[in-house]
Amino acid sequence: MNVIFKEIENTDLRPIREIVLQELRSAIFQNQLKPGDRLVENIIASSMGVSRTPVREALRQLEIEGLAVNVPRKGTLVKGISLEDAMEIYDLREVLEGLAVRLACLNISRVEIRRLKEIIDIMEINMKKDNYNEYIKAHNEYNEIILKASKNKRLLGQMDNIYEYLKSLRKVSLHNLDKRQGVLEEHIQIVNAIEEGNEILAEEAARIHVVNAKKRFMESRNNNQG
């Protein structure tokens, strides 16, 4: 394992286990950690400046997610996510996110629409500041509002699982400002369609957004490999 992780900052208020897990996922999805690489608990802990307990918990979660495997006498090895896995996740997201937006058109309140517009403004501000963490925080709230407005608990559960994977995939595909600008414009189109109550147009805009997200991921992944 040749990856050197940066030390976790004291200002990050997320649970340590979650931060460690996110960093490991990102390294796997960005091909910094490759299939077959050993995930050595004490090296990761020392590199991140944390105890071994949250690292151990993160490694177990990676095994549950199928991103790592524990091999007797070898320890925990990266299994990784194949390109096929990523494409399947995006294909599933396209269908379910389109459905969520269509259902949201039927149920969303004026207050929620107003908040979606505010979030887009927040995303634009943080995009111009190149503040990735705040940009993603706003982006996540945008998704939460639409999902809750769909009023479909089973759909919400499915999308929660997909978005968990996308946390790291998104970090790969939104590494530059041009890509974030494209995402912002797509969100504006979706919100405009929702505000008009045009469920067909809203679903179409949402599906186009995911198709473009898939393309952005592929472009970034190919650039990283090159």
Surface-to-core class of residue 134, CB atoms within 10 Å of its CB (0-12 exposed, 13-18 middle, 19+ buried): middle
The whole-number pLDDT of residue 83 equals 81
The whole-number pLDDT of residue 182 equals 82
Amino acid letter, 219: E
The CATH architecture assigned to 83-225 reads Up-down Bundle (1.20)
Q: Lowest-confidence range among 111-120, 193-202, 216-225?
A: 216-225
Please state the domain extents for the chain. Answer: 16-78, 83-225
Closest listed residue to residue 180, CA positions, set 117, 134, 118 = 134
User: Is the CB of residue 119 less than 8 Å from the CB of residue 141?
Assistant: yes
pLDDT tens per residue, range 64-94: 888 899 999 999 999 977 788 889 999 999 9
The whole-number pLDDT of residue 225 equals 56
The whole-number pLDDT of residue 208 equals 97
Residue 8 in tokens: 């976790």
Confidence of residue 203 (pLDDT cuts 50, 70, 90): very high
The whole-number pLDDT of residue 1 equals 63
Residue 164 in tokens: 């968990």
The whole-number pLDDT of residue 25 equals 85
Whether 6 has a pLDDT exceeding 60, the answer reads: yes
Q: Lowest-confidence range among 45-54, 140-149, 152-161, 162-171?
A: 162-171
Closest listed residue to residue 31, CA positions, set 224, 215, 226 = 224
Confidence of residue 224 (pLDDT cuts 50, 70, 90): low
Euclidean distance between CA atoms 59 and 76, whole angstroms: 7
Domain 16-78, what fold?
Answer: Arc Repressor Mutant, subunit A (1.10.10)
Confidence of residue 175 (pLDDT cuts 50, 70, 90): low
* Dihedral in degrees, nearest 10, Cα atoms 209, 213, 219, 220: 140
**How much is the mean pLDDT over the chain?**
88
Provide the whole-model pTM.
Answer: 0.70
Residue 178 in tokens: 């041009």
Return the H-helix or E-strand segment holding 141.
helix 132-149
Count of Cβ atoms closer than 10 Å to residue 49 Cβ: 13
Residue 132 in tokens: 């990735």
pLDDT tens per residue, range 98-140: 999 999 999 999 999 999 999 999 999 998 888 888 988 999 9
pLDDT above 70 as % of the chain: 91
The whole-number pLDDT of residue 168 equals 65
Confidence of residue 165 (pLDDT cuts 50, 70, 90): confident
31: left (phi over 0), alpha (psi -120 to 50) or beta: left
Closest listed residue to residue 116, CA positions, set 211, 180, 195, 215 = 195
Q: Which residues are CB-neighbours of 22 under 8 A, at least 6 positions away?
A: 167, 168
Tokens 């790592």 map to which residue? Answer: 68
The whole-number pLDDT of residue 84 equals 85
User: Is the CB of residue 206 less than 8 Å from the CB of residue 101?
Assistant: yes
Q: Lowest-confidence range among 44-58, 59-73, 121-135, 157-171?
A: 157-171
Count of Cβ atoms closer than 10 Å to residue 192 Cβ: 15
